[in-house]
Amino acid sequence: MKKKIIFFSVLLALGLKANAQINQGGLPLSMKQEIALTNVPLSDYQNPDWESYLNEEKERLHKPQVTGPVKIGLHAPTDFGFPQSGQMITLDNGQRVWRGIMSIPGAPAIGLLFDQFNLPKGVKLYLTNENKRQVVGAFDNSNNDASGQFAIDAIQGPKVYIELNIAPEVNLSDIKMHIDKALVFHRAIEHLQTYLIAGATPLDQVDAQLNGRSSVCTINAICPQGANYPNPRKATIQTIDMVGGGACSGTLVTHTGNTAASCKPYIYTASHCEPTGQTNSSTPVFNQYLVRFNFERPTCDNSGATNGQSITGVNLVSRSAFQSQWLNDLNSIKGDFMLLELRQAIPASYGAVFSGWDRSNSFPTNVSLPKKFIGFHHPAGDNKKLSTSQSIASTEWPSQQPSPSGSRWTTELEVGYVEGGSSGSGLFNGDGYVIGDASVAGVSATIPANCNTKANGEPNADPLNSVTYQKLSHVWEYNENGIAGANSLKPFLDPANTGVLKTNSVTQTCAPLTSGGGTETGLSLSGFNEGLDGDIVVYPNPSSGNNVQLQYNLKNSTDLSVTIVDITGKVVFEAKIKGAKTGTKQLNLQQVSSGMYVIKISSPNGYTCKKLVLNK
């Protein structure tokens, strides 16, 4: 079948809990004390026309190629600042409390972009939603950036309460705080569900299922299929372009000069993830860039809220050229990589890993289980997912013809799928070293009909099963286009010019790791039964009836236990199959309501998990 190749769209998905950006924590004075702040000024701004945008998007998505990043929201121009947009009172001890309210009627959630941001020592900034369930902050002088700009993730609801707590000694004229635009989120805000005002409608169409907009057949990163590769999972991050309103995936990578005293936080991603082709780190795009860590489910079955922490601000280190018109002309793309550096150190609590890399091209391109080629990524901007295959091929671009000296790695996925938002994510070889970044994807074989369904049972998901990755080795000494002197990886990933072909994964403080992928001592093996996973299918899925079929074709006869749990982890169905080898077991789910579930099938030799969606 001829491949349908489309460019990875990028979709923004925010998944942070309160106080998830680097901040000092705590509560604002208005919540800790009885402070008489009455008639707090409310600044109203117009909600952009999301429905009109959706109509435009629908037309664009019918075309054979995606023409740009997929939006999760639209910008509303604002003029909100200190002191003019709020009210201030002075307490008996000399402390001052300033509050203002930003309102965008009908907004599901609001993100803030500061064109002026400088907080003197002694000033703390807090933000809350209307019901005060979500508290973000405190931000203080440690969050100041040389650019004078900043960005804050989504706050649930149509109103954001903005509060400054100001110490007595602070000169008010030294405070610089102004918000010139807000990003009104309509998608990818599942993490805010817990903060909803009583009686409010779900934040987006799929939040009731505690999952995002990707295909029901995508697999959570924490699931057993990825258990042997914890380092690649922890190295995978989500990049969020607050200015452009799009998101990608990326990989934290180490370099040969890293030491505990000098540990550079590099991010390896795709050049097309910043589609305007910026080459200057001082632009708002990079000043207000958000990088999200651990944006993933804590369990395979979706029980528990999405985790995540973020950091604002990156420097552009190196990239291949990219022009926005290439989104409609994929053949024009030669290299597709970008290297960024965080402007702040990663907090220890994030538990991040800097992935080792392998540029040798001498590793096997076919592996046997338990090894696999694996990717962790954020399809449709969702919480982190995984996809795997047992083989990759070296190919030319754009011909896609096999060639040992080709610039791309191509693979046909056997487990999981990618979607828009997976762009820039790493391809890890069988030993867990990153060897490329996701560039384009398409469909090379028929995708099961049920996989074209979103997590909530809606149609028109866009799962892709053929992925082309930019080879890390090809852009090692690239120099074909891009930033003069900064259009390859070698000067930055091997600054000492050691000539090594691969490096090992390290912790976020650059301490060596001994297992978990990308290390000399190998993988962390788990008890997940890969064979069982491939020998059992569940259909129809999604199902609109009361019965589903569990079909199995096992190598040896064995007893099976079947357990179905809902998104809270509650067991809703159990069954036993004695002496199973080849056959079908009908599961009567008449007493199970509509929703998303996980089926766990266990044998004495291990287990596997399958998603199930009921749409009765």
Do 391 and 262 contact (CB within 8 A), yes or no?
Answer: no
Residue 154 token pair: 């989504």
Nearest Cα residue to 307 out of 289, 319, 292: 292
Nearest Cα residue to 224 out of 214, 215, 233, 211: 233
The residue whose two tokens read 């970008």 is: 338
Distance, in Å, from the CA atom of 80 to the CA atom of 45, rounded to the nearest integer, reads 10
Do 614 and 572 contact (CB within 8 A), yes or no?
Answer: no
Element (H, E) at 51: helix 50-61
Instruction: Give me the sheet containing 266-269, strands edge to edge.
Output: 309-312, 289-293, 236-241, 246-253, 266-269, 338-342, 314-319
Give me the amino acid identity at 107.
A
Residues of the chain predicted below pLDDT 50: 1-19, 62-67, 205-210
21-to-81, 119, 184 alpha-carbon distances in Å: 21, 16, 19
Name the CATH topology of 530-614. Answer: Immunoglobulin-like (2.60.40)
What top-level class would CATH report for the domain 14-205?
Answer: mainly beta
H, E, C per residue of 376-396: EECHHHCCCEEEEECECEEEC
Residue 59 DSSP class: H
What's this model's pTM, rounded to 2 decimal places?
A: 0.84
b/e sequence 458-475, b meaning 16+ C-beta within 10 Å: eeebbbbbbbbbbbbbbb
The residue whose two tokens read 């002191």 is: 83
Name beta bridge partners: 338: 269, 319
Any residues with CB less than 8 A from the CB of 170 and at least 6 apart, and which? 96, 120, 121, 122, 123
Any residues with CB less than 8 A from the CB of 58 and at least 6 apart, and which? none
| DSSP class per residue in 13-26 | -----TT-BS----
Distance, in Å, from the CA atom of 337 to the CA atom of 613, rounded to the nearest integer, reads 37
Distance, in Å, from the CA atom of 434 to the CA atom of 330, rounded to the nearest integer, reads 24
Domains in the chain: boundaries: 14-205, 530-614
pLDDT, tens digit (0-9, with 9 covering 90-100), for 107-147: 999 999 999 999 999 999 999 999 999 999 899 999 999 99
Cis omega (within 30 of 0) for bond into 370: yes
Exposure on the CB side of residue 379, measured as CA atoms within 13 A: 28
Q: What pLDDT does 8 receive?
A: 39
Q: What pLDDT does 409 receive?
A: 98
Distance, in Å, from the CA atom of 172 to the CA atom of 81, rounded to the nearest integer, reads 13
